[in-house]
Amino acid sequence: MNPVNYLYLAALLFTIGATGVLLRRNAIVVFMCVELMLNACNLAFVTFSRLHGNLDGQIIAFFTMVVAAAEVVIGLAIIVTIFRSRHSASVDDANLLKL
């Protein structure tokens, strides 16, 4: 199978993720969309690794996974805390820092 198709898939996933981040209000969904974008990137990295025949892309993918895991821990903690205090997970309600 032509590896370029994986790139198309990665682009599609990234677009879906970006659209979700921009359009959804629910913090959990936004968060999942961010993960989707990260994984789209991973897919692209691995595909390029395969295309160029070296391991750089795969190593970067591992890094990304580690960063994503750390991000999930902190991000979920924040979302849970916000939900506790405001009884809502909408990103639009968290605007206390607005002027």
Partner 1 sequence: MENLIGLLVAAPLLGAAVLLCGGRRLDRSGPWVGTLLAAVSFALAVALFADMLGRSGEERTLTTTVFSWVPVGGFRADVGFQLDQLSMTFVLLITGVGTLIHLYSVGYMEHDERRRRFFGYLNLFLAAMLLLVVAGNYLLLYVGWEGVGLASYLLIGFWQHKPSAATAAKKAFLVNRVGDMGLSIAIMLMFTTFGTFAFGPVLEGAGQAGEGKLTAVGLMLLLAACGKSAQVPLQSWLGDAMEGPTPVSALIHAATMVTAGVYLITRSGALFDAAPTAQTAVVTVGAVTLLFGAIVGCAKDDIKKALAGSTMSQIGYMILAAGLGPVGYVFAIMHLVTHGFFKAGLFLGAGSVMHGMNDEVDMRRYGGLRKYMPVTFVTFGLGYLAIIGFPGLSGFFSKDKIIEAAFAKGGTEGWILGGAALLGAGITAFYMTRVMLMTFFGERRWQPDADGNAPHPHESPKTMTVPMVILAFGSVFAGGLFAVNDTFLKWLEPVTGHAHGNPPVSALTVTAATMVVLVLGVALAWARYGRKPVPVTAPRGSWLTRAARRDLLQDDFNHIVLVRGGEHLTRSLVYVDHTLVDGVVNGTAASVGGLSGRMRRLQNGYARSYAVSMFGGAAVLIAATLLMRAV
Q: Rounded to whole angstroms, what are the CA distances from 48 to 25, 54, 98?
A: 33, 9, 42
CB of 91 to partner 1, least distance (A): 5
Residue 85 makes contact with partner 1 by CB under 8 A: no
Of residues 19-48, those binding partner 1 (CB under 8 A): 21-23, 25, 30
Alpha carbons 70 and 84: distance in angstroms, whole number? 22
CB of 1 to partner 1, least distance (A): 27
Q: Rounded to whole angstroms, what are the CA distances from 44 to 2, 11, 20, 30, 57?
A: 14, 8, 19, 21, 8
CB of 4 to partner 1, least distance (A): 18
Q: Which residues bind partner 1 (CB under 8 A)?
A: 18, 21-23, 25, 30, 91-92, 94-95, 97-99
